[in-house]
Amino acid sequence: MSTTESSKPTNFIHQVIEQDLEQGKNGGKVVTRFPPEPNGYLHIGHAKSICLNFGTAEKYKGGCNLRFDDTNPEKESQEYIDSIIEDVKWLGFQWQGDICYTSNYFDQLYAWAVYLINEGKAYVCDLGPDEAREYRGNFTTPGKDSPYRNRSVEENLALFEKMKNGEFAEGACSLRAKIDMQSPNMNLRDPMIYRILHTNHHQTGDKWCIYPIYDFAHGQSDAIEGVTHSICTLEFEDHRPLYEWFLENLPVPVVPKQYEFSRLELNYTITSKRKLKQLVDENIVTGWNDPRMPTISGLRRRGYTPASLRNFCDMVGVTRSNGVVDMGMLEAAVREDLDKNSPRAMCVVRPLKVTITNYDDALEEWFELPKHPKDDTMGMRKVPFTRNLLIEQDDFAEVPPRKWKRLTQGVAVRLRGAYVITCDEVIKDAEGNVVELKCSYDAATKGANPEGYKPKGVIHWVSADNSVPCEVREYDRLFTVENPDADKERDFNEFINPESLVVVTGGRCESGLADAAVESRYQFERTGYFCVDADSTAETLVFNRTVGLRDSWGK
């Protein structure tokens, strides 16, 4: 295969693949895999792995397998499987062939475990978990052989058969590989291969009561599937010698190679599935797809697009250097995509009544505004103008600050796409709160600049008589500190941002949004980017704020 412009290597893994292809390795094929454990929803870190594995296969005209690492049925569920499938499809990728499960290979993995026993390279060990840890040693103390390490092949075969038949309690014994208890690599100190688990499996039912450990199942599943480049994150680098040991000592059909890259870590969030589950279980968030969560489904619900996540992963790049990416980079990626592709609309989140005193109460005009100022192909939208309008409370000030470019008494502003109005009178309630502005409009300013005076600025508005009720959910960073896990003396959830969700009811948006579909995305002019939430009803639309028009965090 010759190197084309589209296939030029863009990272060290692609450089390896280019070399392999030039040397004719793997029959000129590239097969990768994405092997999630179905014990939670996927997060932004998984998005990077998805883009790398599926994107690499696409680039080199190969295939990528979607394989569920379902070796721990206690923590797995069909809900997680379904969510992962949906996330991969939503990001725009397609796996080759059927969806795979490690459980598809349980019979073969069991046979290979028996093979290792027959080769004298695996044994049944009766040490309990605490004893096994003691015998294993640590990084400064070498391990010592289990007293059961030298059992005969016949005894090990008989005991392993009893394990499979359910004749032992959980934790009574395990099958371990016989490698090297003196190895400086802890993963090679006679690692466990199989443990007893009397748990029903979501794919295999009650057929098995022993389950393979990930380190044993991983490489062999790759080999069965013909994976050529097994790409995983850096925490598996120390496991690679074990990955290779199993492949070298088993009659596998092919020998894949493992390569590691750095994880994607974001500040102001966490990506531990265990801790994300804790947020869900403790009702700190509303679920795995809460728009504050760094899960793919949460980001999707918040209004992120597949293109924005893929572009973000490209921006981050693929290296072997661990680091933390600033949340602002992710927000910039979605802001760029939404700016180009989101139609514009006007929404008044916190309304203030405006009465145009010199406008006919029976009149209703319809103004045509572009759906996008830089994309004529999106067409136009119609917005009704009436005597009774609504503007943002923040767009009026009785005592304006310096350089104020919005509405105040005696000052004129332009209503976006409509007329210039001047505030003549301020109405307050008994507590002194401004509740209504009496304004007059200049009929000569429709589509024209006024003569003799200059408006202070442009503000957005909607008709109070012909607009759609909405609820706006303003989302922000989930945590108040960059690294919620940094303080080991305190629980990470102590740093939850109390302003991570502010629900604002009573808003009104353009009448043209009445039938907006769930996940429709808009730029609310002068406000930010918003997405229609599934909680919307026939009476009230619900919008999630995806991101502001510009980065204002900490300002």
Catalytic residues: 37, 263, 273
3-state secondary structure of 206: coil
Structure tokens at 431: 């507590």
Write the CA distances from 56 to 220, 281, 320, integer angstroms: 21, 36, 17
Nearest one of 47, 84, 53 to 312, comparing CA atoms: 47
Which region holds residue 470: left if phi is over 0, alpha if psi is between -120 and 50, else beta? beta
Angle 149-153-158 from CA coordinates, rounded to 5°: 100
C-alpha to C-alpha distance for 144 and 137, rounded to whole angstroms: 7
Burial class (CB in 10 A: 0-12, 13-18, 19+), 222: buried
Retrieve residue 177's tokens.
């590989």
Spatial distance between the Cα atoms of 229 and 219, rounded to a whole number of angstroms? 11
> CA 349: distance to chain centroid?
27
Is residue 88 helix, strand or coil? helix
Helix locations, 92-239, DSSP H: 106-118, 129-136, 153-164, 214-225
Strand 63-68 with 100-101, pairing: parallel
**Concatenated DSSP letters of 484-531:** TTS-TTS-GGGGB-TTSEEEEEEEEEEGGGTTPPTT-EEEETTTEEEE
Residue 128: strand pairing partners: none
| H or E stretch covering 203 | none
119: left (phi over 0), alpha (psi -120 to 50) or beta: alpha
For residue 550, the surrounding DSSP H or E stretch is none
CA atoms within 13 A on the CB side of 54: 21
Burial 452-461 (b: 16+ CB within 10 A, else e): eeebbeebbb
331 within 8 A of 477, measured Cβ to Cβ: no
State how far the Cα of 337 lies from the Cα of 355, in Å rounded to an integer. 37
Question: CA 274 to CA 319: how far, in whole Å?
Answer: 25
